[in-house]
């Protein structure tokens, strides 16, 4: 199903598509094991896509990308609307697990 969703047509011939399918499948399975809600699962998959784009399109180093992850996760669990994260549907414990996973 994920292969269809990602619209991979050359999976048997393309190493890139195979690696991407593994990347997203591993993330999806981990998130399911964490019992993430549908919203959390969607947000996590978006986060994986964001991090991969940072590497492939923006050519960020691992360190720069981890800083971006920190910015994205900043404010989780805080009530202050200025500091709250777009990923505020994660608990603090879940956010720590996401960072550990990445």
* pLDDT, tens only, 5-57: 666 777 677 677 778 888 889 999 999 999 999 999 999 999 999 998 998 88
| 17 occurs within a structural domain | no
Angle (deg, nearest 10), helices 38-56 and 15-33: 150
Please report whether residue 44 resides in a domain. Answer: yes
* Residue 21 within any structural domain of the chain: no
61 vs 57: CA distance, rounded Å: 11
9 or 59: which leads in pLDDT:
59
Q: Is the pLDDT of residue 67 over 80?
A: yes
More confident residue, 63 or 81: 63
Query: What is the pTM assigned to this prediction?
Result: 0.78
Domain holding 94, by residue range, is: 37-75+86-101
Which residue has better confidence, 28 or 73?
28
Distance CA 47, CA 69 (A): 8
Q: What is the pLDDT of residue 3?
A: 67
Q: Is residue 52 part of a domain?
A: yes
- Is residue 67 a part of any domain in this protein? yes
CB 88 within 8 A of CB 39: no
In a domain? residue 26: no
Number of structural domains (the chain) is 1
What is the predicted pLDDT for the residue at 83?
45
- 1 located within any domain: no
Q: Is residue 48 part of a domain?
A: yes
Helix spans in the chain (H) = 2-5, 15-33, 38-56, 62-73, 92-101
Give the pLDDT score at 84.
44
Interval 75-99 mean pLDDT: 73
């Amino acid at each position: 199903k994920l292969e269809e969703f990602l619209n991979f047509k050359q999976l048997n011939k393309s190493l890139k598509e195979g690696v991407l399918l593994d990347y997203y499948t591993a993330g999806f399975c981990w998130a399911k094991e964490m019992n993430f809600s549908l919203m959390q699962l969607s947000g996590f998959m978006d986060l994986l896509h964001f991090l991969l784009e940072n590497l492939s399109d923006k050519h960020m180093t691992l360190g720069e990308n981890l800083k971006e992850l920190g910015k994205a996760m900043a404010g989780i669990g805080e009530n202050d609307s200025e500091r709250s994260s777009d990923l505020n549907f994660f608990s603090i414990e879940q956010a720590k697990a996401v960072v550990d996973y990445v």
